[in-house]
Structure 1
Amino acid sequence: MRIIGGQHRGLALAAVGVGDKGASLRPTPDRVREAVFNVLLGGRYGDPVSGARVLDLFAGTGALGLEALSRGAAFASFVDDGKVAGGLIRDNLRRAGRAGDAALIARDAKSLGAGEPHDLVFLDPPYGKGMGAPALVAALAGGWIAPGAVVVWEERTPQPAPPGFTLSEHRKYGESHITLLRANPGG
């Protein structure tokens, strides 16, 4: 696994190894990350990456947030309560030299509490566990998601927009379905 584009293009990320069976670590494949960023930067969404505050929920290895930092995001918050995931994220931030413009939040993504607004949200919960919508709703309620923010949600199946969000589109890449949402202006 590596960073696909931007300043850190080609940087090898920490290997997941045996992973964390309880947390179901399943990093987004390089080709899917590349496709997602091609969609994000392809014009329909403007440029939601440059200068953005990025929220990476169920961050795992942190590959999505790191890809955004590599491509010009200003700051990334990585949320994952898994011990293995936390170690991988810290290692990957060190490899990229990005610890200064990132935060690791070791909390359950479904109960974040209050936070600062982010412009771009990556959501990659364990497939089929019904954790994505509650995490998005909690993040929105806690002020973590800015009005109009773009949300990229990876799951096994296309996902409906939860309250406070509008569906933009669904895309399929191999076994992954990407649901793109916008946070409603009024929340």
Structure 2
Amino acid sequence: MDPRSSKDDEIVQLLVKHQNALRAFLVSLMPGRTDMEDVMQETSLVIWQKRDEFEPGTEFKAWMFSVARFRVMAYWRDQKRRRESAMPEELLNRLAEQAAEEGFEGIEKRSEFLGECIQSLRPEDRALVLRRHLAGAKPGQLAEEMGRTSNSVRVSLHRIRSILRHCIRRRTHLAEGGAA
């Protein structure tokens, strides 16, 4: 087998294997941004373009997160140029460092817990939070669709996020060997 083809196959396998971790990492650096998926695709493309720079046997996930961090920095710079909301680079660096300190496995585990916690929500709460954060629907749009006020939708989303934070903290504590 061609060594180039073998390395390409390995990169594809590693990208697929760590896709959820990459998504969780990007969410931590781009909270609430609906264009996070675009940055994820750009990151995957850059990883593919720079695949020759990856040394087999080294930590792929750390290398992938480094590439992702630079893509996110470019995203926020573009936002700043367009005079749209932008995350200060210092804050972005702190978030990335915090994610690295907590360990990439911790991000992946919290992402898994988030999925479990979302499934445990009441169906109407689950639908609301998924419409807001996955589909990118604005509170005003959701309010109109649901026949509610924008403020009541915001209050519901705040309550649901609090429930999810509490659920993730509880599951993390239990996973670390804490008592229920």
Q: Greater helix share, 1 or 2?
A: 2
> Normalization by structure 1: what TM-score?
0.28
Q: Which has the higher contact order (CA 8 A, sep 6+)?
A: 2
> Normalization by structure 2: what TM-score?
0.29
Q: Greater strand share, 1 or 2?
A: 1
Radius of gyration: which is bigger? 2
